[in-house]
Chains A and B, each alone.
Chain A
Amino acid sequence: MPVQTTARLTDSELHERLERTWGHPKGVWGWFSNVHHTAIGIRFMVTAFIFFLLGGILAAVMRTQLAFPENNVLGPDRYNQFFSVHGSTMIFLFAVPMMFQGFGVYLVPLMCGARNIAFPRLNAFSYYIYVGGGLLLWIGLLLNVGVDTGWFSYVPLSGPQFTPGKRADFWAQMITFTEVSALGVAVCIATTILRYRAPGMTLNRMPILLWEKLVVSIAVIFAMPAVMVASSLLLLDRLVGTQFFNPAEGGDVLLYQHLFWFFAHPDVYIIFLPGTSIVSTLVAVYTRRHIFGYTPIVISMIATAFLGFSVWVHHMFATGLPPLGENFFTTATLMIVIPTAAQFFCWLATMWNGKLQFKLPMLWLFGFLFVFLIGGLSGVMLASVPVDLQVHDTYFLIAHLHYVLIGGAVFPMFAGIYHWFPKITGKFLNEALGKIQFWLFFVGFNVTFFTMHFLGLRGMPRRIYTYAPELHWSGLNLLASSGAVFMAVGTLVFLWNVGSSLYGGAIADINPWAAGSLEWGVPSPPPSYNFLYIPTVNGREALWSAVANQPVVTGLRTDIQEMLVTHSLDSEPQYREETAGASIWPFLTAVAVSAAFVGSIFTAWAVPIGAVPVTIALIAWLWPRGSSSTSKRATALEPLAYER
């Protein structure tokens, strides 16, 4: 078959051919076979947002229960399930999937100038596994098997003696699902960033968001195995009868805490660093200048991720570890403030010498600065062991963690959604509704969570389903619960905004914000092949430094899905390779793996029996595709060239 060349094709002819090759498959079968990163990225974001809403509903019911002393909206068992599933949902099913997986999978290939993500089938598989884990946890909650031991499920409470039934098993297995999913996406994103960048995008010219996703991918790869070990050992103790956490038989209760927090502290940076890169990206766009301190910001992100692995014991200061050890972790925890402070100062400097456009995303960014700064400063208080010994495991801590997580992730998330919604959907979100949502959410959030600082200092511990009126916590609790109403209404306004914009919003053109990164060089929404021609890059903001006749790469095949692989450091083109197209096997493999994982909660036979469909699915997935690859046809291929 003669090789198709792109020479002498008009843009519309090229578009037609690429659409044929790259077009998203149709129908139900096609929906499950789609492995293109834009589709999977949208699915990650939508699914994560649904879990955000579900977790928020749980929180609303919890706040209703706590609004009055000795209330009976929820009994102790239900309340324990609600707060445990709320925390698990927000951290495992919303924060990481939205901030890292959702934004990452959608934006990274576009910002790199690539047509798809690396390992697209692994990417799709990661999405379906994530959905499996979420379904496991939530169907569990609806069937009264919701985890009731907290989002970190300390042993021995979650061990075989004190949590009967399958609740903790559902939770521990959900961890397995979500961490396999995160590891898969981390591999895809890291590979994309290192090998699929457009020519000219050296490491020194990479957008900050790409640097952040690379750093976070590596953090994920190092952190996730620790929680896998913790949850797997818990499952073994519960289901098999091992003694890892049984002190009577030589096991250790604190081992679980170390393993868990060794993962969970880097996890919060995995959640927070994507927020900072959104801030860096948006601050540059909306102040009409390059971000100040590109190198310090990149180094700060690397330092934060690295130091994030050295602070986990600050979650365990009350356990009575030796003071010298605790002081080491206080030092590390205070040190990690410095890179984040550097980022704050760089943003401040960018704004100081820039022309600020007060678009809606900037409103959310200022909200982020306010909220996250309070959270970070209360974190400095918590880093100090004596103060932590008073406020650990109290509502002060709940205030801190919500300030840093909602401030550090949810506010940048909304900023990012308002910024990239025109690109993803081709429609603008309504600014007026957005402002209403912001103020409702911001005011409600601060009323709810600032109050909790005082409750903690007054002695209210966390995870209590009710309290006595004599303790004088009633007024503050009622205040905190009333703030939650505003947050809920604000979120409803947002949903209305999204719904009405999708069906009747103003049409967005290619680059409404005059931003500089490569995703703003493709139509809104992007076509199935992303880039008509692979771009080249002259500077840190690709579109701002593009010249009138900016070269593009021509010569990639239009009859198969072909990608340009470039060098990791200087992004020189190295070779071309075919990438995987649509395939049903990631979905089917995920179903088989989910069945094996869920079955193993109930019987050990699920492991050998479940391995059979998994093996079959993997074999089908990895079956070699034949000779559409290029080696024998090398001489007949159109050479890659820079044109225009």
Chain B
Amino acid sequence: MNGLASAAIKMAGLRGAAWALDPRIEPGRHAALRPAGPESARIEWLYWVIFWICLVVFVLMMIGFARAARISSTSVSDRAILEDPQGDRRSAWGVGIGLGITTLALFVVLVFSIAEGRPIEGVATQNDVTIEVTGHQWWWEVAYPNSEADLRITTANEIHVPVGERIAVVMKSGDVIHSFWAPNITGKRDLIPGYASAISFQVDTPGTYHGQCAEFCGLQHAHMGFSVVAESKREFEAWQRQQLQSAIEPSEPETKRGRQVFLTHACVMCHTIRGTTAASQMGPDLTHVASRNRIAAETLPNTPGALAGWILDPQSIKPGNHMAANALAGDELEALITYLESLK
């Protein structure tokens, strides 16, 4: 459908538009018209249906106005007022028919919208994977609940899902209104304080899909991203098992020193590393921070340099976010980075 659309647009001469709609992106780059699952595929189909109806209407109206706008040679000094009762009678029919076609087209849009809306907005009671997402200023707390408390996974900003299975995401907000939006996957849903909300989706194409907060939530709304990693069932279960482990015990002296730095500085006030005494719920869980692709809510790549810069001065990267700068000596910082990079 996408290729047909861009071919048609190319034929219409709007080459720039075609480029914008169909760039050479691999799955994982977000776009509402590159669906990775049935929900976004439905929305994409509905979008094109409405788009073509609208385009036809637009072209017809423009042709009509262009025809009506044939410039008269009469000058303004000709003050005579036109009366054309026959023309007006024809126009009455024209207006009536136009209104009828408009109403019909709108009705078609309405029926399709309602029909496609139902499967998208419904959430089944039985789902293969249920995920709890809590929105905070300006990061996403992600949890995989389980009836057994020690099988509950807690992580941040990066959501893993198995391909081809039904996922339910239950959402709530920890402070202000946020909005969970991964355009390749499905439509957005607001996280509203005082309300719990749930959406359901399925991802059929493996890959990493970017998402972003879509409701203005304060100073760092621009940097509140998340990603959805869709992988095979085997990889997903391996990831789950790994996430359930406590933090890897450091074996090297440098790594041990890094843990010491972590536990004796401001880090413990906000972060949890399971397996140590750090258990604060204020900021993201760091037990497996090295297993994530990006840090700081998808703002930075997860590399030692970026991590060091983030720890030393988060306010220069995300001014106004809730992580304070840390005065660490060079060797302390190195040890800390070594430790954090070992937390796979």
Direct contact of A and B (CB under 8 A): yes
Which residues in A have their C-beta under 8 angstroms from that of B236? none
A341 at the interface (CB under 8 A from B): yes
Contact code string A241-271 (vs B, CB < 8 Å = 1, else 0): 0000001100111100000000000000000
For residue B23, give the distance in angstroms from its CB to the closest CB of chain A.
7
For residue B290, give the distance in angstroms from its CB to the closest CB of chain A.
21
A135 at the interface (CB under 8 A from B): no
A384 at the interface (CB under 8 A from B): yes
Whether the pair B221, A464 counts as a contact (CB closer than 8 A) is yes
Q: Determine the residue in chain B with the shortest Cβ distance to A159.
A: B176
A461 at the interface (CB under 8 A from B): yes
Which residues in B have their C-beta under 8 angstroms from that of A373? 58, 61-62
For residue A480, give the distance in angstroms from its CB to the closest CB of chain B.
12
Within 8 A of A (CB), among B31-56: 31-33, 40, 42-43, 46-47, 50-51, 53-54
B117 at the interface (CB under 8 A from A): yes
Which residues in B have their C-beta under 8 angstroms from that of A369? 61, 65
Whether the pair A334, B109 counts as a contact (CB closer than 8 A) is yes
Q: Which of B76, B102, B106, B197 contacts A357 (CB 8 A)?
A: B76
A624 at the interface (CB under 8 A from B): no
Q: Which of B30, B116, B188, B222 contacts A318 (CB 8 A)?
A: B188
Within 8 A of A (CB), among B89-144: 91-92, 94-95, 98-99, 102-103, 106-107, 109-110, 112-114, 116-118, 120-122, 137
Also in contact, A318 and B102, with CB within 8 A (given A289-B84, A386-B120, A463-B221): no
Whether the pair A385, B78 counts as a contact (CB closer than 8 A) is no
Complex CA gap A296/B96 in Å reads: 11
Contact code string B190-221 (vs A, CB < 8 Å = 1, else 0): 10111101000000000000101111111111
Complex CA gap A185/B220 in Å reads: 40
A471 at the interface (CB under 8 A from B): yes
Whether the pair A293, B95 counts as a contact (CB closer than 8 A) is yes
Whether the pair A323, B121 counts as a contact (CB closer than 8 A) is yes
For residue A27, give the distance in angstroms from its CB to the closest CB of chain B.
40
Q: Which one of A334, A461, A462, A471 has the highest number of Cβ atoms from chain B below 10 Å of its Cβ?
A: A461
Whether the pair A320, B114 counts as a contact (CB closer than 8 A) is no
Binding stretch for chain A, among B67-75, B159-167, B253-261: B67-75
A611 at the interface (CB under 8 A from B): no
Contact code string A311-335 (vs B, CB < 8 Å = 1, else 0): 0000000111001001100110011
Also in contact, A476 and B110, with CB within 8 A (given A353-B82, A463-B221, A514-B76): no
A150 at the interface (CB under 8 A from B): yes
Interface size on B, residues (CB 8 A): 96
Also in contact, A157 and B109, with CB within 8 A (given A351-B69, A355-B82): no
Complex CA gap A498/B57 in Å reads: 37
Whether the pair B109, A384 counts as a contact (CB closer than 8 A) is yes
Q: For chain A, which range describes its interface: under 10, 10 to 19, 20 to 34, or 35 or more residues?
A: 35 or more
Whether the pair B176, A457 counts as a contact (CB closer than 8 A) is no
For residue A155, give the distance in angstroms from its CB to the closest CB of chain B.
8
A458 at the interface (CB under 8 A from B): yes
Binding stretch for chain B, among A35-43, A74-82, A408-416: A74-82
For residue B50, give the distance in angstroms from its CB to the closest CB of chain A.
5
Q: Determine the residue in chain A with the shortest Cβ distance to B93.
A: A349
Whether the pair B47, A390 counts as a contact (CB closer than 8 A) is yes
Whether the pair A253, B192 counts as a contact (CB closer than 8 A) is yes
Q: Which of A247, A289, A394 contacts B214 (CB 8 A)?
A: A394
Whether the pair A352, B91 counts as a contact (CB closer than 8 A) is yes
Which residues in B have their C-beta under 8 angstroms from that of A462? 214, 216
Which residues in A have their C-beta under 8 angstroms from that of B70? 356
Which residues in B have their C-beta under 8 angstroms from that of A522? none
Whether the pair B195, A341 counts as a contact (CB closer than 8 A) is no
Q: Which of B31, B175, B187 contacts A457 (CB 8 A)?
A: B31
Which residues in B have their C-beta under 8 angstroms from that of A327? 113-114, 117
Whether the pair B188, A390 counts as a contact (CB closer than 8 A) is yes
A240 at the interface (CB under 8 A from B): no
A20 at the interface (CB under 8 A from B): no
Which residues in B have their C-beta under 8 angstroms from that of A320? 189-190, 192, 195, 197
B25 at the interface (CB under 8 A from A): yes
Binding stretch for chain A, among B150-158, B177-185, B276-284, B322-330: B177-185
B149 at the interface (CB under 8 A from A): no
Instruction: List 4 A-B pairs, minimum CB-CB distance, nearest first.
Output: A389-B187, A247-B194, A464-B222, A349-B91
A contact set with B: CB distance below 8 Å? 75-77, 80, 149-150, 154, 156-157, 162, 247-248, 251-254, 287-290, 292-293, 296, 318-320, 323, 326-327, 330-331, 334-335, 337-338, 341-342, 344-346, 348-349, 351-359, 366, 369-370, 373-374, 377-378, 380-381, 383-394, 454, 456-459, 461-468, 471-472, 476, 512-514, 516, 541, 544
Q: Given contacts A383-B113, A454-B21, could you give 5 more A-B pairs where the C-beta distance is less than 8 Å?
A: A287-B82, A338-B102, A345-B95, A351-B69, A359-B76
A-B contact pairs, 22 of them (CB 8 A): A77-B320, A149-B216, A154-B176, A154-B216, A156-B193, A288-B78, A318-B214, A327-B114, A351-B65, A352-B64, A353-B84, A355-B74, A381-B50, A381-B51, A383-B109, A390-B40, A392-B214, A459-B32, A461-B213, A462-B214, A463-B222, A516-B81
